[in-house]
């Protein structure tokens, strides 16, 4: 049995906790919940059949030898704050706020620690499809990886970069390209919404070679990610039209489902897909 601690009890953390509780996430048990807003963890814990402990802080989780995997479902800042400590404590780390890895120094430190401590980082495919094929395609030459992300303008409300560009998202009446550049820059400028850019970059040809276009589109209601890849394998186009998660309209429901499946894969004996 693998013991799990979930850090962040929002949309993804709650969905994952319930899935573990219902036995949908394989042979795993939920040992801890932790949230900077303690009441969120307490409320979630009390709604579950098998009640996990509510941790007071990350150290409580890291000092418990029974915990095998820490799941981050919080923010990119939390990934940076806890990431190395989790791995140094000898625990595997599942990361949802993938955008944190835009910082190359941080990414390289994590890679070194993984090797030193013989532990693992798991990145769920999240809100896009095609990661399986991109990983396989990257075994050979790839000419191009491109992501086009289209979201309703409200999804960009409060984004600093959009504000600095002088764009008022409430006044957008036709599709506006907010950003065109590398996956690394996209993850830096859109820390909340474009985690998938970094996931795609890490799966394929890297964060600097992966091209990203971000569009605020008042004609769409869903978060839409298009992935275009060309290489020695041929060509690939994947379009994912995401419904929002019931508890957080900024998060795609598929991201939470993908986290459940990634956890389940840890104990699956018959594994399908790259
Ligand atoms: N990989 C993907 O495809 C993908 C898709 C959607 C969302 N995400 C990312 O996953 C993360 C979680 O998403 P969500 O929709 O569940 O968010 P959410 O806002 O619903 O929940 C986040 C929770 O984390 C808590 N939190 C914040 N900082 C913390 C810290 N330092 N320590 C402990 N708890 C902390 C918050 O209080 C909140 O309860 C976000 O960073 C989001 O951008 C990734």
The predicted pLDDT at position 192 comes to 84
CATH architecture of the domain 2-122+254-267 equals: 3-Layer(aba) Sandwich (3.40)
Q: What percent of the chain has pLDDT over 90?
A: 95
Query: Residues 65-115: pLDDT tens digits?
Result: 999 999 999 999 999 999 999 999 999 999 999 999 999 999 999 999 999
How many Cα neighbours within 13 Å face the side chain of 194?
A: 34
Kindly tell me if the per-residue pLDDT of 19 is higher than 90: yes
d(CA 192, ligand 1 centre) in Å: 9
Give me 170's structure tokens.
């409430």
- Domain boundaries defined on the chain: 2-122+254-267, 131-242
Report CA-CA distances (Å) from 178 to 39, 75, 167, 183, 190: 36, 22, 9, 14, 10
CATH architecture of the domain 131-242 equals: 2-Layer Sandwich (3.30)
Fold match, 2-122+254-267 / 131-242: no
Of 75, 81, 101, 224, the residue with max ligand 1 atoms within 8 A of its CB, to mutate for a pocket test, comes to 75
Average pLDDT over residues 145-162: 94
Kindly tell me if the per-residue pLDDT of 43 is higher than 80: yes
Query: Residues 199-253: pLDDT tens digits?
Result: 999 999 999 999 999 999 999 999 999 999 999 999 999 999 999 888 887 889 9
Residues whose beta carbon lies within 6 Å of some atom of ligand 1: 7-13, 34-37, 40, 73-75, 78, 81, 96-98, 126-127, 192, 195-196, 199, 248, 251-252, 255
């Amino acid at each position: 049995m693998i013991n799990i601690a979930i850090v962040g009890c929002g949309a993804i953390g709650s969905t994952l906790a319930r899935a573990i509780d219902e036995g949908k996430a394989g042979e795993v048990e939920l040992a801890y919940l932790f949230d900077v807003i303690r009441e969120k963890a307490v409320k979630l814990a009390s709604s579950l059949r098998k009640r996990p402990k509510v941790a007071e802080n990350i150290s409580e989780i890291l000092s418990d030898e029974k915990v095998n995997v820490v799941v981050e479902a919080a923010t990119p800042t939390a990934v940076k704050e806890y990431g190395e400590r989790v791995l140094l404590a000898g625990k595997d780390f599942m990361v949802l706020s993938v955008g944190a890895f835009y910082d190359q120094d941080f990414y390289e430190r994590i890679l070194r620690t993984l090797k030193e401590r013989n532990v693992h980082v798991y990145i769920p495919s999240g809100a896009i499809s095609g990661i399986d094929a991109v990983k396989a395609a990257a075994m050979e030459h790839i000419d191009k990886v491109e992501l086009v992300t289209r979201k309703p303008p409200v999804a960009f409300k409060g984004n600093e970069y959009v504000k600095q560009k002088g764009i008022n998202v409430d006044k957008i009446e036709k599709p506006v390209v907010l950003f065109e550049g590398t996956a690394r820059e996209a993850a830096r400028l859109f820390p909340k919404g474009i985690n998938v850019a970094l996931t795609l970059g890490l799966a394929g040809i890297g964060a600097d070679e992966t091209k990203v276009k971000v569009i605020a589109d008042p004609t769409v209601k869903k978060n839409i990610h298009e992935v275009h890849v060309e290489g020695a394998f041929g060509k690939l186009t994947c379009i994912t039209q995401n419904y929002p998660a019931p508890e957080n309209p900024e998060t795609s429901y598929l991201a939470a489902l993908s986290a459940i499946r990634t956890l389940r894969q840890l104990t699956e004996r018959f594994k399908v897909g790259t």
